[in-house]
Structures are given as C-alpha cells and as structure tokens.
Copies of this chain bind each other. A is one copy, B any other.
Amino acid sequence: MLSFTEENYLKSLLQITLENEEKNGAGTNELAAHLKVKPATATDMLKKLKSKKLVDYKKYGKISLTVAGRKYAVEIIRKHRLWETFLYKKLSFTWDEVHEVAEQLEHIQSQKLIDRLDEFLEYPEFDPHGDTIPTAKGELKISFKKTLAEVADGQSCKMVAVKDNSADFLKYVVKVGLGINNNIKVLSKESYDSLLTIEVNGVVSSVSQKFAQNIFVVCPPDTMKPTSKTKKR
C-alpha cells in the first residue's frame, strides 16, 4: 500500500513519459517541476521508489517506471478518469471542475469501489477531456498525437481531447465555442506567428498557436496516409 505522495510520484512519471514517448526516461528536475517540489525532494523519493522496485533509477541517470510501477500508475490514471467521468456525468460537474476533485478521489483505496464505479458508468471509454480510460486489465490506449496546431491550412478535423487540463484553459476553450467532438475547419494560418483562423459550427474565430497545441484532433482517415507520426510503444 503506497502513500498518497508515492502514488503521485508514480503518476507524474507516467504522465511525463506519455507526453513524450520518444524520450527514454524523465529527469529529476522535470519530475520535481511536475510535482511542484524541489529536485532534492524528488531525489529522496526516487531512492525510496527504487527500493520498492517501482522505478528504474541510478544516480545521474534517466528515470523510468518498472513494469510494476507502470501498472500501479495506470491504475491511478484509471481511477482519476473514472472519477472525472462520474462527476461529469452523474453529478453535473463541468469539465473544468472535475480534475481538482479527481486528484483527491484517485487515491481512495478500494478495488471494489472502482470496479463498481466503472460498471455504474457503463464502462466509459473516454473521460470528459477526451482522454482514454484504462481498462480494468490495465490496458491504456495510446492517446491522440495530432494537435490543432499541426492541421494544414484549409483542412478539416474533429476535436477529440485537450492536452492542458487546467480550469483556466478549459473555460477558455468553451468561451471560444469549442468542445469535444466539434468539427473544426482551419481557414487560414499566419506564417509569421501561426495564428489560426478556424470555423466551428459556422462561427469563425482566431486562436493562438499555444492554444492550438493544446487541442487534440483527428483528421478524416482518407485525408491522411497511415502516418509515421504514430510512434512505437
């Protein structure tokens, strides 16, 4: 049985590796920043997690999860996303409110609880942010890779998820008139600053590159060749 803190370290490590699969492992500073602690603190915890055989770590080396550590981390992500779905679907929370509460709920220890919750929600595949929910067996589908920022001028796509989960960003997304499953047409793209002009539900608006990089999209299959962008894993 791990502590809240230990669980959060594992979760952060998984999140870091999922966000950038070409990388072989995380760094101490990176992990510390993700958890909002100081690097010295992370070093201490890494020693502890190594002794529990949950992370592969050696001095000055790259950090990665062991198979056991990854499995544990996936379970936490599963709980997080199921709780987010519960709050959204059953308790009418908005998509920008669910994350904060799920950060607490993800640490509740009860296998039965999470199994029953999954059943109660009728085995959802996606959370309110469009992220895939790992199955009870610990299978975590590869997340979406293409962002709105990568869509070519004139092309259409569908919004499937968000990268940034902060309430500020999510509220802004709603304000711009966007949401999961919306169809987006990229009307134009400024070459100077990559400002995008997009059309959603007949409404035209402009979004920054930073914004566009946090919107995951899929493009119609026939529009795209089997892309080499989909990395191994």
A101 interface residue per 8 A CB criterion: yes
Complex Cα distance, B5 from A107, in Å, reads 16
A68 interface residue per 8 A CB criterion: no
Pick from B87, B104, B117: contact of A109, CB under 8 Å: B104
Note all chain B residues with C-beta closer than 8 A to A113: 87, 91, 101
A56 interface residue per 8 A CB criterion: no
The secondary structure that dominates the A interface is helix
A105 interface residue per 8 A CB criterion: yes
What size tier do the contact residues of chain A reach? 10 to 19
Pick from B93, B104, B120: contact of A90, CB under 8 Å: B120
Note all chain B residues with C-beta closer than 8 A to A93: 112, 116
Note all chain B residues with C-beta closer than 8 A to A108: 101, 104-105
Note all chain B residues with C-beta closer than 8 A to A117: 91
Interface string of A120-163 (1 = CB under 8 A from B): 10000000000000000000000000000000000000000000
| Contact, CB under 8 Å: A104 / B110 | yes
| Cβ distance A166 to chain B, nearest Cβ, rounded Å | 17
Q: Closest B-chain residue to A97, C-beta based?
A: B112
A51 interface residue per 8 A CB criterion: no
| Contact, CB under 8 Å: A110 / B101 | yes
Note all chain B residues with C-beta closer than 8 A to A101: 108, 110, 112-113
Complex Cα distance, B109 from A104, in Å, reads 8
Q: Which 7 A-B pairs have the closest CB atoms?
A: A91-B116, A101-B110, A104-B108, A101-B113, A91-B120, A90-B120, A105-B108
